[in-house]
Amino acid sequence: MVNPAYAAAAVTPERVCGSGFARVANSKQAVKTSSKRVLGYVYLLYNRKTGYNCVTTIKTSNIGVRTFVMATITTQTRGANSRASGENEGRSVKHYLGPVKTYGKGRCVSYMGRIRDDGRNAVEAKSSWKNWGNCS
């Protein structure tokens, strides 16, 4: 039987997104409750060869326990008011959710993650929407 803490330690954003993806500078966002408790992190990665962005949400709390997790990315397309989105959510996630990928070469992206703590208070944590960035 695999120790949940060990299994979670082996999960990295690069492994979730796959070959060729690298973290975007300053893209790691804490997924926090309103009381500032961190339940995990959401990461933005980019693949220079393919032009795709990738988002993944990785839990740091309740690892191995099935909880709700979400990862969302929005890519600007033609003009500031056009969007192309990718979203994935799972209701029984033990470690991480993703990858969520959108094409983004020469376009800006915004992204967010959510994690629900299924403890007694069923607290939901989320990262803020990152302003338009990684305009590659």
Cα dihedral across residues 114, 69, 25, 47: positive or negative: negative
pLDDT of amino acid 2: 45
Domains detected in the chain: 4-126 (2.60.40)
Higher pLDDT, 16 or 34: 16
pLDDT of amino acid 53: 92
pLDDT of amino acid 1: 42
Write the burial class of residue 42 (CB in 10 Å: 0-12 exposed, 13-18 middle, 19+ buried): buried
71-111 residue pLDDT tens: 988 887 765 555 556 666 667 788 988 899 988 888 888 88
Q: In terms of Cα–Cα distance, which of 43, 65, 51 is closest to 112?
A: 43
Q: Which two tokens stand for residue 85?
A: 């989105």
Contacts of 85-92 with CB under 8 Å at 24 or more apart are 86/55, 89/114, 91/66, 92/66, 92/67
Lowest model confidence (mean pLDDT) among 12-16, 82-86, 116-120: 82-86
Cα dihedral across residues 91, 92, 94, 97: positive or negative: negative
Average pLDDT, the chain: 81
pTM, two decimals, is 0.83
CA distances from 13 to 21, 55, 121 (A): 9, 8, 29
Higher pLDDT, 35 or 15: 15
Angstrom distance (rounded) from CA 13 to CA 47: 13
